Structure 1
C-alpha cells in the first residue's frame, strides 16, 4: 500500500483542506474510508502505518466530501429533522421543528482526553449556580452523524478505546454517573490512526475496528514525484489547488450520497454468505464479528460500485480490508493476508467462476478500485507474500512453525498453562563444567540463538506507590481503582461525600441551608495500578552461551516482553557483551519491535556487567526527563559474572550502588543453572536492593502446576 500525496506538512493551511480526490497511491486507504462513510455500521477504520504517510491528511480530507446534513436548530446532538432521536436529551423534536444545513463534522479526540470529556458528565456550573442536575455533552455527542478521529489511537487509554468502540457498534452513548442517567444517539464513523513503532493495540481492541489498512511510503519514483509535486502546489496556493479538484470533490460527494441511498436495496444472496463464511473460517479468525463486518463491507462495496447484488469481487474487496488485523493472536504475529489463499477460498473446491465478477473496461461507471483484476501484477501463488509466512497452508490452517523459530516467529497460540522455562529442563552439568573458569567462555565465537515459545511470566513490580499513567503493573494513585481519599484538584471524578463535608465545615455550626460553591468541590483519589518503563538489561556474553543458556535467556526475555505488552508498559532493551553495552531499543510501546531486536541479538565475548548497569542508568535518567511520572523497573538478566576490564566484579558492584542510589526499583533474573553455584547474581541483587528471581521461578504458576501434577499422579497410583 502506498502513501497518499499530502504527507509532508500539516493538511490544513489557513482554512483550506487538502482535497480527498487529490490523494495519490492510497487506493486501499481511500476505499476503506469511503466504504465506512457509505455504511457506518461497518464499525470504523484503523489506519496503521509508518510516520509521514498522510494518515491524518486522508482522514481530515474525508470530511470535506461527505454530504451536508440537515439538523434540528439548537439540538446539541445534531438530530436529523426527518428522523429525530426519540430519546434525545434536547427533545422531543416536533414534526415542524426548524432545521438548518451544516457540513459533516470531523471531531478530533486528543490522546489525553478524560472519560468525562468523551462521554459527557454532570454540568457543575448548572449544579452549583442553579441547583439542577443537567448533562453536559461530550465529544461523542458532537461527533453524532459525523467522523470521530483519534490520532495515535494506540496511545489512548484502553478503557476509552472500549467506550468509543462500544458507542460506534451500538450507535448510542449511555451515561450513568454522578446522578445523571442519559442516553443519546452516537452514530459515528470511528477512524483511528497509529504508528506501530509506538506500540500496538491489544488483539481484543483490534477486532473491534471494522476495517484496517496498512500504509507505507511508495517505492515507485513516479508516484513519489507526483506526491511531492501536488503537495508543493497545495502549499503554494491552497485555494487554487482546491479549485482544480472541485469537480472531482463534488463527484465523490454525489457518489457517496447515492451509495448511501442504495445500501438498503443491495441483495446479499445466501451463496455469497456461504462464501464469506468459508473465507473467514479458512483464515482461522476467531468469533463471528469478522463474518458480519465482511458481509456489511461487501454490501457497501456493491452499492459503491453501482451493483444491486453482491458478487465475489465485493467479497474479495471486503475481505482484504476486514480480515488481516483479525488474524493476529499475539503481538509477535505479522499482520497481513495471503491473497493467493483468499482467491482459492473465494472460488471454493468445486465452485465455478462467478461471471458477474468480471469488470467490463468499457462500462462508463467502472472504477479500477472497484474491480477484481486477475492480471500479471498480482503475485504468483508460489511467490512469498510480503509480510506473511511463506509456509502458509492453503487449507486455511495456521502455517507450520519451524522448530527453534526466532522471537518474532513464535507460534501465536499460547499453551493452556504456563510452560516452564527452558532453564528448568536443561541438562544437568557435569562437575567439570561447574568448575571451569568463566574465561573459557569469554573467547567464544559470536553467535545468535533462537528463542522458544514464550510462557506467562510472574508479576514483577516497582517498589512503593507511584502516581503514573493507569496500567496493570505497580501500585499507584491513579484515576481508576479504589477511592482512598479526596483532593481539591480540578481534575478527576467528583467525590460527593467529601464535597458535602467541605461545604458543611465552611457553613459552621450555625445551621441553615447548605450551599455548595466551587471551592467546596473535592475530587476522588483512587489507588490502582500504573504502567511502568520496563527496561531489560540482558547479559549477552560468552558465559551466557554455555549449555545453550542463551536460548533460555531469550525465551525468558520474550516472555517478559509479552507480559509488559499485556500490562501496557513501555519497554526498553540494553545488552552488554565484549567490552561495552548497547541500548538496543530505546523506550517504546512497540513490543513487536523489541521482539525483532531480541531475535537479532548476538552473544559471545566477555561480560562488561558494569557498563550494562551504567547504560541502563543513563537510559532511565533520560526517560525521566520525558515522562517524570512513569516509574522505571530495571530487570537485569544475568548470571552475575563480570569479566571485562580491571576489577570487573568490584566495578559492577559500584555501578549497582549507583543505580540503587538513584531510586530505581530493580529485579535480578538469575541465569546461573549449575549445581555448584557462585551466587554472584544474588550478590548483585543485594547491592541493588532488588528482588532476586532464579530463572526457573520466573514462570507464573509453576509451583501450582507442579503440585497439581504430583497430586494427579498420586491419584492415578491409588486408582
Structure 2
C-alpha cells in the first residue's frame, strides 16, 4: 500500500485544510466541496486526511461497519449479538465518475428475490464509506442521479435500495468530500447547497512557496516512507487535536449573540432556506472546539460564513462565487453582542501544521463583483465608436444585452447520450416505455415483462409451489425514456455587418441567453466565430458554460463575412467531437444575418458547406439577426440549406407571441 502524502506537509491551502479538519471534528457540518484549478493539491489533501482520522471499532464480520456500542438495528447483517469487535483505520472510499447506481448503493439479486424470496444484497460504496470518508473527484462530471443519491444518503445518514417491492436499508454516515475544476462545468445550485462547506483553491503566485511545494513533492517521490516519517510528529499532534476537539465539541456553547450574527449574516446575503444557518452554527461550534474554547465568538462566525455561504448566496450561473467581506464585517459588527470578546490568538493556527505561518484571514475568493442585471460578470468594454460598414476594421468588444428566457430548442428523435434536460433519450431514469433483454448486468427490472416471459414455461420447469420458477433468460429490463444533454455548438457571425446599427449587443445577449439555457439543461457547449478572412474555434466543446460566456463577452467585431469558413470549421469540430463522444448528439446554432462576403463565390461556397450538415442529419437552427425596414431573407435561405429552421431574435424569447416549433425538425424550414 502506497504511503500517503502527510496532511501536515501540504504547503499553504489554509482554507482547504481547515475545512477538512472541521469536518473531521464534526461530521455533522456536512462535507466539503473543493473548487479549483488542476494541480492545486485537492486530491492530495483529501487522501492525506484519512490517515489523521481516529481508528473505528466495528462489529466483527459486519459488512456495514456497525458500531459495537450502538449497532444499527436495521443492519442487513444483523441483528448483532454482543461479542467480538475489531478496530480498524477509518476508510477513504473513492467514487469513480463512471460508477453505476448499483455500484454506489449496492445491488439486490433480483432473480433470487423473485424465485426464492431471499434478500441477497451486495453492499455498495456507501456501505464501505460508513464511518469514514467518501471522496468524489470531479463531482461535477458525475451523473445527476448519482449525485442525488449520495447527497440524500449524506443528509439522512442512511442508504435505501428499493427494487420491485424488495427493500434494504443500512446506515451510511460519512464525511463527504467532492473536488471539481469549474472550467469543466458547474454543479446545479440545489446540489451545491447540499455540501456543508466550500473552498476555492488556487496555486500560489509566491515563488518561495512554489519552491517549497516542489521541494517537498520531490522528497516524497524519492522516499515516501522516509518523508512520512519526518512528519510523523506533526501528524500525531494534529490527530490528537482532532480527538480532543471531538471530546470538547458537546460542551461548546453557542450563545444568543452568535446565533443573531449567524441569522443576520444569512439574511444579509439572501441565502435560500435555513440550511445555511444550520451549517454556519455547526461550523462555528466546530471552530471553537478546534481552538480549544467552549464559547463561540464573532471570529468563529466570520470564518464559518466564509466557508459556508459563498456557494449558497444568490447569484447567476456566470457570476464568480465569493462573499463581500466588507459587507460581512459590517453585518457582524452591527449585530455583535456583549458576548463577543477578542480571544487570545491560537498559536498553532487553524491548519494544525504544514510549515506555514497562519494567514491573517481566510481568502475565500474575490469580493463579489458589482454589475447590473443577472448575467455574467462582464468586463468593461468600449463601444468602439460609431458602427462601421461591412469590411471595416476591427471594433472593440461590446457588452451583451440583458439575457432572457429562451424557447426550448431540442434535437428530434430519441438519443442515448448523457443524462440532461434537453432532448428525448433512452436513459437510466425516466418513464418506462418498454422492456428488453438485459445486455450484461440487469439494471431496472421490468416485473410484468419478466413474469410474462416466465409464465409459459412453468409446467415444463416442474413448478409445484406458489412461486414462479425464474431463469436468467426470463429477466427483462425496463426501457426508460428521459432527457439527454446535447452538444450545442454556437457559430457566431462577428463581421462588420453584424456591428451595424449596434446589433452586436443584442446578438450577444441572445447567445448569452442560450448559454444560460444550456447551463440549466446540462449541455456541453462550443463556440466558433468568423469574421475578416477566417474562422476560429473560440472555445472547444466543454461543459464549462462560464468559459463560453467569457469568450463571448470579449469577442470583437469587424471585417468581412466568411460564412463558409465558419460553417466548415464548425463541421470539423463536430466531426472530431463525434469520435470522442459518439452518443452525444449535436445542435448547431448559427447566429448571423446570412450575409456572405469575401473570396470567390462566397454565397455558393456557404451553401455547399451548409449542405454538409443537412446530409449528415445534424439538427440546426439559424438565429436571424437581420434588422431594418428592408430584409433580404438570407438567414432563412441558409436555414433551408442546413435543413433546419430560422428564428428571429424576437421569436427566440420564451414570452414571444410569435410561434416557434420546439423541436428543430430537419424538414421544418422557414422560407425567405
* Equivalences for residues 14-25 of structure 1 within 5 A: 14-25=1-12
- Return closer, same or farther for 1:227/1:682 CA change in 2, 3 Å cut-off: same
- Return closer, same or farther for 1:579/1:407 CA change in 2, 3 Å cut-off: farther
Is residue 647 from structure 1 mapped to residue 601 from structure 2 by the alignment?
A: yes
* Equivalences for residues 611-622 of structure 1 within 5 A: 611-622=565-576
Normalised TM-score (structure 2)? 0.91
Separation in structure 1 between the aligned mates of residue 20 and residue 299 of structure 2, nearest angstrom: 18
SS in 2 for 1:324: coil
Contact 2:611 2:641 in 1 (8 A): yes
Separation in structure 2 between the aligned mates of residue 693 and residue 619 of structure 1, nearest angstrom: 24
Question: Partner of 1:685 in structure 2?
Answer: 639
Match of 1:555 among 492, 509, 514: 509
Separation in structure 1 between the aligned mates of residue 359 and residue 295 of structure 2, nearest angstrom: 28
Separation in structure 1 between the aligned mates of residue 604 and residue 509 of structure 2, nearest angstrom: 30
For the aligned residue pairs, the C-alpha RMSD in angstroms reads 2.6
1:565 CA displacement: 0.4
Match of 2:188 among 199, 202, 207: 202
Contact 1:456 1:563 in 2 (8 A): yes
* Equivalences for residues 152-171 of structure 1 within 5 A: 152-171=138-157
SS in 1 for 2:560: coil
- Return closer, same or farther for 1:131/1:89 CA change in 2, 3 Å cut-off: closer
Is residue 478 from structure 1 mapped to residue 395 from structure 2 by the alignment?
A: no
CA-to-aligned-CA distance 1:231-287 (integer Å, 9 cap, x gap): 111111111111111122222222112211221111100111001112222222222
Contact 2:26 2:286 in 1 (8 A): yes
Question: Partner of 1:394 in structure 2?
Answer: none
Match of 1:87 among 61, 67, 74: 74
Runs of at least 4 residues off by over 4 Å: 128-131, 349-353, 368-371, 375-379, 505-511
SS in 2 for 1:561: helix
Question: Partner of 1:303 in structure 2?
Answer: 289
SS in 2 for 1:603: coil
Separation in structure 1 between the aligned mates of residue 364 and residue 175 of structure 2, nearest angstrom: 31
Contact 1:408 1:595 in 2 (8 A): no
Most deviating of 482-491 and 526-535: 482-491
Question: Partner of 1:490 in structure 2?
Answer: 440
Contact 1:122 1:178 in 2 (8 A): no
* Equivalences for residues 364-513 of structure 1 within 5 A: 366-367=348-349, 369=351, 387-389=366-368, 391=370, 401-402=371-372, 407-409=376-378, 440-443=389-392, 445-488=394-437, 489-491=439-441, 492-505=443-456, 512=463
Most deviating of 304-313 and 518-527: 518-527
Most deviating of 326-335 and 502-511: 502-511
SS in 2 for 1:325: coil
Question: Partner of 1:216 in structure 2?
Answer: 202
Separation in structure 1 between the aligned mates of residue 506 and residue 657 of structure 2, nearest angstrom: 19
Question: Partner of 2:53 in structure 1?
Answer: 66
* Equivalences for residues 29-428 of structure 1 within 5 A: 29-94=16-81, 96-124=82-110, 126-127=112-113, 131-348=117-334, 354-359=340-345, 361=347, 366-367=348-349, 369=351, 387-389=366-368, 391=370, 401-402=371-372, 407-409=376-378
Separation in structure 2 between the aligned mates of residue 226 and residue 125 of structure 1, nearest angstrom: 57
Contact 1:534 1:635 in 2 (8 A): yes
- Return closer, same or farther for 1:368/1:159 CA change in 2, 3 Å cut-off: closer
Match of 1:531 among 474, 482, 485: 485
1:651 CA displacement: 0.6
1:131 CA displacement: 5.0
- Return closer, same or farther for 1:204/1:657 CA change in 2, 3 Å cut-off: same
Normalised TM-score (structure 1)? 0.85
Is residue 600 from structure 1 mapped to residue 587 from structure 2 by the alignment?
A: no
CA-to-aligned-CA distance 1:577-633 (integer Å, 9 cap, x gap): 111111001111111111111110111111110011111110011111111100111
Separation in structure 1 between the aligned mates of residue 593 and residue 655 of structure 2, nearest angstrom: 23
Separation in structure 2 between the aligned mates of residue 498 and residue 622 of structure 1, nearest angstrom: 40
Gaps of 5+ in 1: 1-13, 392-400, 411-437, 706-719
